[in-house]
Amino acid sequence: AQRVTQPEKLLSVFKGAPVELKCNYSYSGSPELFWYVQYSRQRLQLLLRHISRESIKGFTADLNKGETSFHLKKPFAQEEDSAMYYCASRPMNRDDKIIFGKGTRLHILP
Amino acid sequence: DTGVSQNPRHKITKRGQNVTFRCDPISEHNRLYWYRQTLGQGPEFLTYFQNEAQLEKSRLLSDRFSAERPKGSFSTLEIQRTEQGDSAMYLCASSGGTGGHEQFFGPGTRLTVL
């Protein structure tokens, strides 16, 4: 069965320091991987997906098939990055349901 | 706001009562998803529609839960004989049209069962 694991419930990082949110997945096929973000009092929104290979708001994530990881990184944290981050996966049938991890709350300290 | 909308935003009910939630997807989207999110968890898939056809139901969706999308536009999720364990945030998402396969989420309906 598909599973997405985010080992950290809470990550506190000082402003300007690097950020890394960890995510591991288990799936027998070739899933599509995502990071979703939920800012305070806002709805869940897509941050980035592995197939796009893009940087959004300074965040990047590289799919490592050998380690089945999709960690989210940003070199210099900003206060507005404080939010709940969810790693998620979906089979390559792109209309299928999304499987979410439990989420990591990122708290940027001033 | 042309995004996904959900009503009501909050619902408090007593155990044993029936509740119904509504989701209005983005108008051009033909796919609609329901998820449930409990405290400390990520969203969990409940069910999925393509137009009016319900294509998949999670094992989380007990017999007390029913979802419909009668005209392929808005959807309703009904919970009969609510239990305290049904307390959660119920999220709706839609995809299709120019948005492709990206799922756009609504603000959710928070259900509290007393």
Query: How high is the pLDDT of residue B24?
Result: 97
Beta strands B109-113 and B10-13 are parallel
Does the distance separating the beta carbons of B102 and A44 come in below 8 Å?
no
Below-50 pLDDT ranges, chain B: none
Among the partner-chain residues A43, A45, A95, the one whose CB lies closest to the CB of B101 is: A95
A94 touches chain B (CB under 8 A): yes
Residue A62's pLDDT is what?
A: 87
- C-alpha B62/C-alpha B79 separation (Å) is 9
Residue A57, class by beta-carbon neighbours within 10 Å (0-12 exposed, 13-18 middle, 19+ buried)?
Answer: exposed
Chain A environment of B40 (Cβ under 8 Å)? 9, 102
Portion 6-65 of A in contact with B at CB < 8 A: 9, 43-46
What is the residue-level pLDDT of chain A in tens, covering all 110 positions? Answer: 789 999 999 999 999 999 999 999 997 778 889 999 999 999 999 999 888 878 889 999 988 988 999 999 999 999 999 999 999 999 876 678 899 999 999 999 99
Distance from the Cα of A102 to chain B's closest Cα (Å) equals 4
pLDDT score for A34:
93
The pLDDT score that the predictor gives to residue B11 is 98
Cβ contacts of A88 on chain B, cutoff 8 Å: 42
